[in-house]
Amino acid sequence: MSDFPWLSVLIALPLVGAFLVAVLPRERETLVKQVALGASVVVAVLTLVMAARFDADGARFQFTEKYWWIKAFGVHWALGVDGVALVLIVLSVILVPLVILASWNEADRSGGVDVPAKRSVKTYMALLLSLEAAMIGVFAATDVFVFYVFFEAMLIPVYFIIGYYGGAQRSYAAVKFLLYSLFGGLLMLVAVIWLYPLSSKSVADGGLGHGTFMFDELSRMNIDPTTAKWLFLGFFIAFAIKAPMVPVHTWLPDAAQQSPPGALVLIVGVLDKVGTYGMLRFCLELFPGAAKWATPVVLGFAVLSIIYGAVLAIGQVDLKRLIAYTSVSHFGFIVLGIFAMTSQGQSGATLYMVNHGFSTGALFLVVGFMIVRRRSARIGDYGGVQKVAPVLAGTFLVAGLSGLSLPGLSTFVSEFLVIVGTFSRYRWAAVLAVSGVVLAAIYILWMYQRTMGGPKAPAVEGMRDLTAREKWAVAPIIAIIVAMGLFPQPVLHVINPSVKHTLARIDRHDPAPKITGNVAENGARP
C-alpha cells in the first residue's frame, strides 16, 4: 500500500459522488442526500486511515505523487502532504459530511431567509462534493500551477451555491465574491507564470536550469530581491483576499449573510484557510527575503484586522454577519502568528486554522438551525431561546465560548501560542492584539445574551429543540472542540516538524530568552 495514490483517490471520490448524484432522478431527493452523505463519509474514513499512516518524524512531504501533466510547460500532477496540509485536509473531510447532514433540508428551502422557493437538491449536493474535491486538491498540490488550478476551481461551486441557494441579495453577494476572488487570482496567475522563466535560468543566474512549477525545486531558487518583492505581492494579495484581511475583506460579510448556513461552514471554515495556508506555504518559503521585507506592514494589517473585525462584530444585528466579522478578527490572529516567524507563532497559527474551522463551523450550524425555526437571522427576533430549546442554547454557548478562546476549549491553545510567539519578537503587535481577546468576550457574550437569555420573545414560543439528526451533525464538532482544548499535543506533534522546515527555509530562529537580574550579572549557578 506504500505506492497507493491516496491523494488522487481522495480528490476523485467526491467527484465520483457528485457525478452519481447528478445522474440520479431529480425526484429521488432522499436517495440523492444519502448518496452524497455516503460519498463524503467514505472520503472522511479514507482520509483518517491515511492520516494514521503519516509519520510526523519522517520525510516532510508524504503520500507523494508526481506525473507529467503538461510536459511542454513543465507542469506535473504533483501531490503530497506535510503536517500543515494534512491537518487542513482532515478538517475539510470531517466538516463536509456534517454539513450535508445538517443541511439535509436546506436546498428544499433554498437556505435563504427571504427566498422560500424550492431549489434542486441534487445540484446542491453535487456542488458540495465538488467543493470538497477542490479543497483537498488545493491543500495537497505540490506543483504551484496545480495549486493555482484548484485555487480557482473552488470559486465555481461557491459562486453557484451563493448565487442559486442564497438569500434575497444572493446575486450581488455571489458576483462580489467572484470579482474579488478573480482579481486576486489574476495577480497570482501573473506571479505563477513569471516563476517559469525564472526557474529556466541557469544555476549561475539563480535559476534551476530548467523550467518547473514544482514547489520543492522553486523553493531552492535565488530570486533577485526586487523581482521577489513583486512576486510576493502577487501571491500575498490573492491570499489576503481569500483569507480575508482588512481592507480586502468586504466580500465576506455579504457572502455570509446571503449564503445557506451549511455551505457557509465550508466557505468560512475551510475555503478561507487557503489564504493563510498559502501565506505560510508559498509567500514565506518561495520569497523569504521579500516576506521579511513586508513583515512590519503585514503585522500592522493583521492587528488592524483583529481590532476592526471585533469592533464591527459588536455592532451587527444579523447573526451571520456578526460571525463573519468575528472571522475577520480571528484571521488577523492567524496572519499575526504566521508573520511573527517563530515556532510558537506559526504552530499556533496552523492550529488556529483547524480550531477556527471547528468553532466557527459549530456556530454557523447552530445559527442555521435557529434560522430554520424562526425564518430570520436578525438578533432582535430572538430572546429566551434557552427556555424553550436548552440543548440548542447549550450547544451555541459552547461554540461561542470556544470562539472567545475560553481556557479548556480548542481556540484558547492556538490563540495563546500566537500571542506568546508574537510577543517574543514583536511586542507591540502582541500587546495590541490582546485587545481582540477582550472584544471577543463582548461580542460573543452579548450575542448569547440577546438571543438565548432574557424573557422569551413571542416568536420563539414553541420553538423545538435540536432533532436527532441535528444533534448528530453538531455533536462531533463539540466533542472535537473540547478534546482539542484539553489535549492538543497530537495535532501539534504533526504540525511542528513542518513549521521547523519553514523557519529553516526563511532562516529564522526563535529569539533567545533574555536573562535579567543576578543571574545575568553573576552567571548562572550550577
Is residue 18 a contact partner of residue 126, using CB atoms and an 8 Å limit?
Answer: yes
Considering the chain, what is the average pLDDT of its residues? 89
The Cα-based distances of 158 to 265, 381, 435 in angstroms read 12, 29, 33
User: Using 50, 70 and 90 to split pLDDT, how confident is the model at 505?
Assistant: confident
* Sequence-ordered list of residues with C-beta below 8 angstroms from that of 227, at least 6 positions apart, any chain: 194, 198
Phi-psi region of 276 (alpha: psi -120 to 50; beta: other; left: phi over 0): alpha
Q: Is residue 398 scored above 70 in pLDDT?
A: yes
DSSP conformational letter for 143:
B
| 241, burial (CB in 10 Å: exposed 0-12, middle 13-18, buried 19+) | buried
> pTM above 0.85?
yes
| 489, burial (CB in 10 Å: exposed 0-12, middle 13-18, buried 19+) | exposed
Q: Given this model, what pLDDT does residue 112 score? A: 43
| 189, burial (CB in 10 Å: exposed 0-12, middle 13-18, buried 19+) | middle
Q: Given this model, what pLDDT does residue 10 score? A: 96
Length reported for the chain: 526
The Cα-based distances of 297 to 4, 293, 304 in angstroms read 44, 9, 11
Q: Count the Cβ atoms, other than its own, within 10 Å of residue 185.
A: 19
Which amino acid does the sequence have at 438? V
Is residue 386 a contact partner of residue 316, using CB atoms and an 8 Å limit?
Answer: no
Q: Where are the domains of the chain?
A: 1-270, 287-509
Average pLDDT estimate for 165-182: 91
From CA 44, how far away is CA 57, in angstroms rounded? 24
Is residue 131 a contact partner of residue 165, using CB atoms and an 8 Å limit?
Answer: no
- Reduced to 3 states (helix: H, G, I; strand: E, B; else coil), residue 79 is strand
User: Using 50, 70 and 90 to split pLDDT, how confident is the model at 418?
Assistant: very high
From CA 259, how far away is CA 5, in angstroms rounded? 35
In 3D, which of 327, 281, 243, 339 has the Cα closest to residue 495? 281
What are the φ/ψ torsions at residue 75 (nearest 5 degrees)?
-100, 130
Q: Which helix (H) or strand (E) holds 70?
A: strand 62-70
In 3D, which of 263, 269, 254, 456 has the Cα closest to residue 374? 456
Query: What percent of the chain clears pLDDT 70, i.e. is strictly above it?
Result: 93
pLDDT digits 0-9 by tens, 341-377: 999 999 999 999 999 999 999 999 999 999 888 888 8
Lowest mean pLDDT among 128-142, 414-428, 512-526: 512-526
User: Using 50, 70 and 90 to split pLDDT, how confident is the model at 516?
Assistant: low
From CA 78, how far away is CA 67, in angstroms rounded? 6
Q: Given this model, what pLDDT does residue 117 score? A: 52
DSSP conformational letter for 78:
E
DSSP conformational letter for 459:
G
Helices (H), 141-224: 144-153, 155-165, 170-200, 215-218
What are the φ/ψ torsions at residue 110 (nearest 5 degrees)?
75, -10
From CA 29, how far away is CA 426, in angstroms rounded? 55
Cα dihedral across residues 55, 58, 59, 65: positive or negative = negative
Average pLDDT estimate for 232-260: 92
Q: Which helix (H) or strand (E) holds 14?
A: helix 6-23
Start-to-end CA span in the chain (Å): 52
Secondary-structure breakdown of the chain: helix, strand, coil percentages, each rounded to the nearest 5: 75, 5, 20
* Sequence-ordered list of residues with C-beta below 8 angstroms from that of 327, at least 6 positions apart, any chain: 252, 268, 272, 309, 356, 360
Phi-psi region of 111 (alpha: psi -120 to 50; beta: other; left: phi over 0): left
Which amino acid does the sequence have at 82? D
Average pLDDT estimate for 314-336: 93
Select, from the ranges 85-89, 365-369, 449-453, the one with the highest average predicted confidence (pLDDT). Answer: 85-89
In 3D, which of 128, 125, 138, 161 has the Cα closest to residue 88? 138
> What one-character-per-residue DSSP string does 215-270 give?
HHHHTT----HHHHHHHHHHHHHHHHHHTT-TTS-THHHHHHHHS-HHHHHHIIII
Query: Which residue has cell 468560512?
Result: 268
Q: Is residue 510 scored above 50 in pLDDT?
A: yes
Instruction: Give the alpha-carbon dihedral of 458, 464, 465, 469, to 10 degrees.
Output: -150
Cα dihedral across residues 202, 206, 208, 213: positive or negative = negative
- Reduced to 3 states (helix: H, G, I; strand: E, B; else coil), residue 413 is helix
Q: Given this model, what pLDDT does residue 107 score? A: 65
Q: Is residue 522 scored above 80 in pLDDT?
A: no
pLDDT digits 0-9 by tens, 465-478: 899 999 999 999 99
The Cα-based distances of 508 to 285, 425, 499 in angstroms read 11, 11, 11
Q: Is residue 407 scored above 50 in pLDDT?
A: yes
pLDDT digits 0-9 by tens, 186-210: 999 999 999 988 888 857 667 677 7
Lowest mean pLDDT among 133-147, 234-248, 369-383: 369-383
The Cα-based distances of 19 to 77, 106, 111, 188 in angstroms read 22, 20, 23, 30
Which amino acid does the sequence have at 198? L
From CA 348, how far away is CA 362, in angstroms rounded? 20
